[in-house]
Amino acid sequence: MTTSVRDEVLTKGKRAKAAAARLGIMTRAQKDAILLAMADALEAASARVLEANGRDVAEARKRATSAAPIDRLMLNEKRVAEMADGLRVVAALTDPVGEVIGGWRLPIGIEISKVRVPLGVIGIIYESRPNVTVDAAGLCLKAGNAVILRGGSDAINSNIELVRILTEAGGRAGLPDGGIEIIETTDREAAAQLMRLTEYVDVLIPRGGGGLIRRVKEESTVPVIETGEGNCHVYVDASADLDWAEAITVNAKCQRPGVCNAAETLLVHREVAAEFLPRIGEKLIAQGVELRGCEETRRYLPQAKPATEEDWATEFLALILAIKVVGSIEEAIAHINRYGTMHSEAIITRDLANARRFTHEVDAAAVYVNASTRFTDGGQFGMGAEIGISTQKLHARGPMGLPELTSYKYIITGEGQVRA
């Protein structure tokens, strides 16, 4: 590793840790004042953001093979205003820090209280969307954490300019030096260094595709919260209301196919396959969905291509749906637990025993009965905002809002008690 990269990451890690100690004891009023100052500054400096973003977009156009990455990267006045509004929404949320989440008195008179505290320093490793820069900074700050941002090289000019605006305005409003840091070196060395900065970073949250998340999980010695990979299923039970099944399948697949809570595989009970498959097939094809079915599916739905083993395991993030006919709820649950990513799974049923069984036995962050998987989202859940959707079981599961960006400590008060 080159000295300059190591120096940058280490220096920023140290600064962030020092800032975290100060942020952790700030009042809500102080943090909200910083957030609102940052929001106003961002809107006022929109032209600076768009100029930097224009440089990123011009670079990306030279390399681009499709329009999608450009769309993710490109900002305009409206998108900048939305980022600023996002900070105002976070300012309006309750401060999780200081919440007493438990407390009791020991027989010898010592009092224990369990109090929410910030995690400390949070590292965010993400890909090309520059809005993550502002969202993550706002959420981490509100929960009393310092943040180290490590965005993709595509958006580096946008990200650096955004952080410059946030820290200039934030600094004037009381944000400590190091409260929001961005790693400016975009090569892999810098990310690798951040992933091993256990002395200064308390947790890493990767946001992006499966490849990024697996790499962070593999390389990081800093604790990681895995987010976002969603190979989600809709299972249509023998007793399903087929109108609900149709509406939910179409919604889960088509309403926004590029996101993690969209459905990727439809499982249909054999007893309703002959009725449901032709009906849902027609609706999905009308929406432009490519269907890939098991052999039995293709009997009722000859328009479907043959599904491969790989299809069952793939998060398409596109208008593609794998379809499989199953003989029982057991088979559906086993398929989901084998191929799913513990994100969002739905059963459509009128049978209470099957609903209970599915919710008990499917191992996922969010298990749905008769509703669309698309609801797995911090905003939809009423959390106000989210930093991502955890697909692991440690620390936090599902949408992560402000409380999920905290830890706790025990505060124990006595009058000279010692242990016998």
Least Å distance, CB 40 to a copy of itself, is: 30
Nearest CA to 163 among 177, 144, 145, 143?
177
Q: How far apart are CA 13 and CA 164, in angstroms?
A: 17
Decide: is 361 part of the binding site for a copy of itself (CB under 8 A): yes
Q: How far apart are CA 101 and CA 292, in angstroms?
A: 48
Decide: is 287 part of the binding site for a copy of itself (CB under 8 A): no
Lookup: tokens for 399: 């949408």
Q: What is the dihedral of CA 203, 205, 210, 214, to 10 degrees?
A: -10
Least Å distance, CB 26 to a copy of itself, is: 11
For Cα atoms 124, 382, 372, give the angle at the middle one, nearest 5 degrees.
95
Choice between 196 and 305, CB closer to a copy of itself: 196
Decide: is 369 part of the binding site for a copy of itself (CB under 8 A): yes
- Please tell me the count of residues contacting a copy of itself according to CB under 8 A: 67
Q: What is the DSSP secondary-structure string of 287-337?
A: TT-EEEE-HHHHHH-TTSEEPPHHHHT----SSEEEEEEESSHHHHHHHHH
In this chain, which stretch among 67-75, 132-140, 173-181, 386-394 interacts with a copy of itself, using CB under 8 A? 386-394
Least Å distance, CB 86 to a copy of itself, is: 20
Choice between 16 and 366, CB closer to a copy of itself: 366
Helix (H) or strand (E) holding 211: helix 210-219
Binders of a copy of itself in range 165-204 (CB under 8 A): 198, 202-203
Q: Binding string, 310-349, against a copy of itself, x = CB under 8 A?
A: ---------------------------x------------
Which of 81, 112, 285, 313 binds a copy of itself (CB under 8 A)? It is 112
Decide: is 279 part of the binding site for a copy of itself (CB under 8 A): no
Choice between 11 and 221, CB closer to a copy of itself: 221
Q: What is the DSSP secondary-structure string of 4-63?
A: HHHHHHHHHHHHHHHHHHHHTT--HHHHHHHHHHHHHHHHHTHHHHHHHHHHHHHHHHHH
Least Å distance, CB 348 to a copy of itself, is: 8
Q: How far apart are CA 32 and CA 178, in angstroms?
A: 18
Residue 258 burial (CB count, 10 A): 11
Decide: is 247 part of the binding site for a copy of itself (CB under 8 A): yes
Q: How far apart are CA 177 and CA 111, in angstroms?
A: 36
Decide: is 147 part of the binding site for a copy of itself (CB under 8 A): no
Lookup: tokens for 36: 């609102």
Which of 251, 265, 314, 341 binds a copy of itself (CB under 8 A)? It is 251
Q: How far apart are CA 60 and CA 384, in angstroms?
A: 33
In this chain, which stretch among 67-75, 281-289, 302-310, 393-401 interacts with a copy of itself, using CB under 8 A? 393-401
Choice between 282 and 363, CB closer to a copy of itself: 363
Decide: is 367 part of the binding site for a copy of itself (CB under 8 A): yes
Tell me the H-state helices in 93-121: none
In three-state secondary structure terms, 353 is helix
Which of 47, 274, 353, 411 binds a copy of itself (CB under 8 A)? It is 411
Query: How many angstroms from the chain centroid is the CA of residue 37?
Result: 26
Least Å distance, CB 302 to a copy of itself, is: 28
Contact set with a copy of itself (CB under 8 A): 21, 24-25, 104, 106, 110, 112, 119-120, 198, 202-203, 217-218, 221, 223-225, 241, 243-244, 247-248, 250-252, 255, 337, 355, 359-361, 363-372, 374-376, 380-382, 392-395, 397-398, 407-419
